[in-house]
Structure formats: C-alpha cells, structure tokens
Amino acid sequence: MSKRGLFITVEGGEGVGKSTNMAFLESLLRDSGIDLLVTREPGGTRLGEDLRELLLQVREEPVSPSAELLLIFAARAQHIEECIEPALAAGRWVLCDRFTDATYAYQSGGRGIDAATVRKLENLVQGSLRPDCTLLLDAPVSVGMSRARGRGELDRFEREEVDFFERVRATYLQLAEEGSGRYRVIDASQPLEVVQGQLLKVCRELLRCREKGVQ
C-alpha cells in the first residue's frame, strides 16, 4: 500500500498572488518528482465548478450568508469524495488553492457567521481531514486591492468593501496564530522573487520530511 500523500493548501485575501504562486509551487513540486493533484475551491469537480459559478456571479437579490456557506460546503463534500481523498490515499500530493480556512476567513470573519457553525460543517463534511501544510500569503488589504483591481469585471466577492477584506485578513492571521503548526505565513507584499524564495524554503522542508518519512 502506498504511503498517504501530503495535503497542501494556499490561502490569502484578494490580490496576494495566489494564482501566480500556485503555478510556481506546482512546477517546483513536479520538478522534484512529486505526483501532484492541483485543484481549487470552490471547484475542482464538475459539480463544484458549477457551484463556483453560482457563488461568484453577481446577482440581483442579496445572497443569504447561510446559503453561501452551504453551497461552499456542498462543493467541498464532492471535492473531497471525488478527488482529494482518493488522491491522498493513492500517495499523491494535493495542492489546493483555498480550502476551509477560507470559509473561516470569508464566511465567518467576513460575513459574520459564527465560527462554531463552520466548525460543525467542517467536522461533518471532512471528518478528520485537515491540510498538512497551509501557506498563508499575507499582505495589507490596500496592497492586495490595488494589485487585483486591474483585472476587469469584479465578481460578487471582489465587490465587497475594504472593511470586509480587513476582517478576512484578520481572521486568517488569527487562524495562523492560534492554529496548529501547519501554517506558514509569507509576507506577500514583498517583491515576487522574495515571496517565491520563501515558498521554495517551505517546499524544501516538506520534501526533506518526505525523504525522512516524517509527514
């Protein structure tokens, strides 16, 4: 039986450079010989991508925070069962663009849903599945917003006010501070080469642990 793979997530607020750095991490890990599944949330499956479209589209009616929360966990349930669990069980590593930390940050921190409600759904949908390592790209909201706002039409989340993104950032930092040792906080306001130098360090650390058989 192959050894279980490693589950790595990349998190952060708007404009911190997740897409840019996901691509960097993907090539780093593949070049190191890792059998990798690269995926994202919400999404990662056909059902999940359909739900993502519903979640991001700008709608006439206000969307209930509870409806938003349940759609996110519906997509996650499918993603775990169809993709994440089978990959990890087969010994593949999973690199996922956002996971449940984003739900704490956006739906709890941003929208004000009680964190205990998110925790209940997390336990229900994920059982004991948690990321092994979370790379939190952190930058002041003003920096992220100025980077992201050049991208054209804004989706339903990107239309939120600065205060919303401040709460999202504060929640992410609180999770990293209070959480287990799985978080690596990277200052994403630095030049890209510096950010990627730090990501390289973390990847080397993970690869060393894999060689030693420690995960």
Mask for 16-35, x = binds ligand Z5A (CB under 6 A): xxxxx---------------
Scanning 84-92, 123-131, 185-193, 206-214 for contacts with ligand Z5A by CB under 6 A, the matching segment is 185-193
Q: Would you count residue 106 as binding ligand Z5A (CB under 6 A)?
A: yes
Q: Would you count residue 195 as binding ligand Z5A (CB under 6 A)?
A: yes
Alpha-carbon span 162 to 160, nearest angstrom = 7
Q: What is the CA radius of gyration of the chain?
A: 17
Scanning 28-36, 80-88, 173-181, 191-199 for contacts with ligand Z5A by CB under 6 A, the matching segment is 191-199
Q: Show the tokens assigned to 49.
A: 């991508």
Q: Which is nearer to ligand Z5A, 61 or 153 (CB)?
A: 153
Residue 200 backbone class (left: φ over 0; alpha: ψ -120 to 50; beta: rest): alpha
Nearest one of 42, 50, 45 to 107, comparing CA atoms: 42
Q: Which is nearer to ligand Z5A, 5 or 110 (CB)?
A: 110
Count of H helices and E strands in the chain? Answer: 9, 5
Cis peptide bond upstream of 42, omega within 30: yes
CA distances from residue 31 to 3, 25, 36, 99 in whole angstroms, order as listed = 20, 10, 11, 24
Binding ligand Z5A by CB under 6 A: which of 6, 7, 36, 42? 42
Q: Which is nearer to ligand Z5A, 88 or 118 (CB)?
A: 118
Q: Would you count residue 167 as binding ligand Z5A (CB under 6 A)?
A: no
Binding ligand Z5A by CB under 6 A: which of 74, 129, 148, 170? 148
CA distances from residue 72 to 125, 199, 209 in whole angstroms, order as listed = 11, 28, 32
Binding ligand Z5A by CB under 6 A: which of 5, 9, 14, 169? 14
Q: Which is nearer to ligand Z5A, 36 or 96 (CB)?
A: 96
Note the residues at the interface with ligand Z5A (CB under 6 A): 14-20, 41-42, 72, 97-98, 102-103, 106-107, 147-148, 157-158, 188, 191-192, 195
